[in-house]
Amino acid sequence: MGAPDKWFIRLLDNQLYWLNLVTESVHNTIRFLKTQSVGEGIHLGALLRYAEEMGVDYRQGLFLQRAIEAIVRMELRDLKYKARIHVPYGVTLFGVLDCTGYLEEGQVYVTYDWQLLGKSAQPPPADDPVIMTRSPALHPGDVQVVTNKVPPEWHPLAKQRNCIVFSRKGKRDLPSQLSGGDLDGDRFHAIWDPELLKQGQLTVFDPAEYQGESPSKLGRPADLQDVADWFVEFMKSDHIGQISMKHVILADLKGTPDPKCIQVAEIHSKAVDFAKSGVAVDMRQLPKMPKLRPHFLKPENLHEDAEEDEQDIDQHPRYDYYYSGRILGQLYTRVDEARIWPEDFNAGADMASLGHSSSFWDELTACLVEQVHLQIGQLGWEHRWNQAQRLYNQYESAVLDMMTDWSEHPGRPLTEIDVFVGIIRNRRGGAQTSRQRHQSMKLRDEFTRVANLIMVEMRRPYSVSEFTSELDGLELGLASLHFSNQMIAFGQGVGSGIASFRIIAASALMLELNALMLT
């Protein structure tokens, strides 16, 4: 479309600059954790802010620092290997139909609660151009430029939120022009960056007009054997990833408008529709692939999603690689992990020592104990020791189970940090695969569930007598924090003492102190 390289590079540089500032201040760290949805269930951001107010630097806590480093590294790999760049003037939203007929052909209405969603940019102004597309966009015409039409306040459309409203008018609906999309749950991308949409800067191509495959028919009611046969055929004929990678290779060599790229895009469209049509694509129809590959696809750099492409139709085992000067190659080269976030960051702090950040935890524990004394005086917590031990054992067992159950390799469990931040790493290097990313989200949800259960029980413990008190949570919080500190001190770090338990204990104690101040 003629989008300038400098636009992509500017967005990338802005994101790299922001990642470099993550640990510069507590405010930046909290903001970063929020965007990554890490630690929300255990109020990690509030704990970091509390520690700062008490004059305690969380960066002296090695476990917390390494946890944040792990998230930053994952972001860097997403930038380098998948060019997953944040677009400030852009959103991804579900598409809905304008049932009122207000929108004309070539118009959309982009609406979202920008403050609620934490977006820095407001929705596009009325009557301004908007780039519309949908993933995956392989054909040049899968990206269109339309006009954002904002309805008056009294109009029913003005009540819509967090969606993109499409017009029902015109010879062909816009969603179908965007990679064959529809409005049954598809998500669409909208971009309205003024720098990108300067007059006459972009070239808009006609949308693809593929002939859809007629669904195969049995001529009789389907039975379970038909379902099983179809599933096996689907597994055998699922070549979407392989076709997509061939398109990347050709597009880098020749550009997306090249006839061979158009041909691959059409085959990809048919492969996507296979689940609906039941008609598998013939891989022999793919154009013969060149032996050259761009440098960002070298095997040592290749993420697992693309590995199955590494055998061409002619089964040639080796390829020659060239430096790609196109935008994907430029972005790939620009992200230098070793320079941005060096591997020897905190060198000398191995995994076995992560729990022993004595300075940070001694100071934070002392501050919390002092706050308890200031608010209520001397508080005995020793009688809660057995309860704290029971909670610790429950949490430790759950974390160790997650370290093994969620690992992709039985002999190589996840680390405690992986579980704490919800990351399943690509052991081969590079970005996560789509499966690893999906599993990471599920792991994060599971850890949040476990941590919340522990925190709730810590704040509302059963009474050791027949009476209950608002101080029960403070007592157990103190006991849990002291017990965890002791386990770390007597153990050998991670594995002999779960380092993240005292983060939960400290957060619970902080919340109890805050609640006590409000009463």
* 40 DSSP assignment: T
| Whether residue 79 sits in one domain with residue 16 | yes
* Mean pLDDT over the full length of the chain: 85
| Whether residue 429 sits in one domain with residue 472 | yes
DSSP H or E run through 388:
helix 385-405
Rounded Cα distance, 242 and 458, in Å: 50
The answer to whether residue 205 is domain-embedded is no
| Whether residue 400 sits in one domain with residue 284 | no
**Residue that wins the pLDDT comparison between 494 and 125:** 125
Torsion angle of alpha carbons 322, 323, 329, 331, nearest 10°? 150
Closest CA to 108 of 180, 179, 192, 185: 192
Neighbour tally for 38: CB within 10 Å: 23
| Whether residue 439 sits in one domain with residue 365 | yes
| Whether residue 498 sits in one domain with residue 418 | yes
Question: Could you give the C-alpha distances from 413 to 77, 165, 402, 408, 417, in angstroms and in order?
Answer: 21, 46, 9, 8, 11
pLDDT tens for 192-203 read 999 998 877 888
Q: 294 near 321, Cβ under 8 Å?
A: yes
Angle between helices 472-490 and 358-376 (to 10 degrees): 160
| Structure token pair of residue 349 | 């702090």
| Whether residue 380 sits in one domain with residue 487 | yes
DSSP 326-385: SHHHHHHHH--HHHHS-TTTTTT--GGGTT--HHHHHHHHHHHHHHHHHHH-----GGGH
Closest CA to 9 of 325, 222, 429, 252: 325
The answer to whether residue 213 is domain-embedded is no
pLDDT tens for 108-157 read 999 998 776 666 678 889 999 999 999 989 999 999 999 999 999 999 99
**Predicted local distance difference test score (pLDDT) of residue 316:** 46
| Structure token pair of residue 267 | 């085959």
| Whether residue 483 sits in one domain with residue 375 | yes
Q: For residue 492, what are the domain limits?
A: 5-83+357-518
Total domains present in the chain: 3
Q: 293 near 320, Cβ under 8 Å?
A: yes
Neighbour tally for 48: CB within 10 Å: 24
- Is-above-0.75 flag for pTM? yes
pLDDT tens for 67-114 read 999 999 899 989 998 999 999 999 999 999 999 999 999 999 999 987
| Whether residue 118 sits in one domain with residue 44 | no
Residue given tokens 């820095």 in the structure block: 120
The answer to whether residue 225 is domain-embedded is no
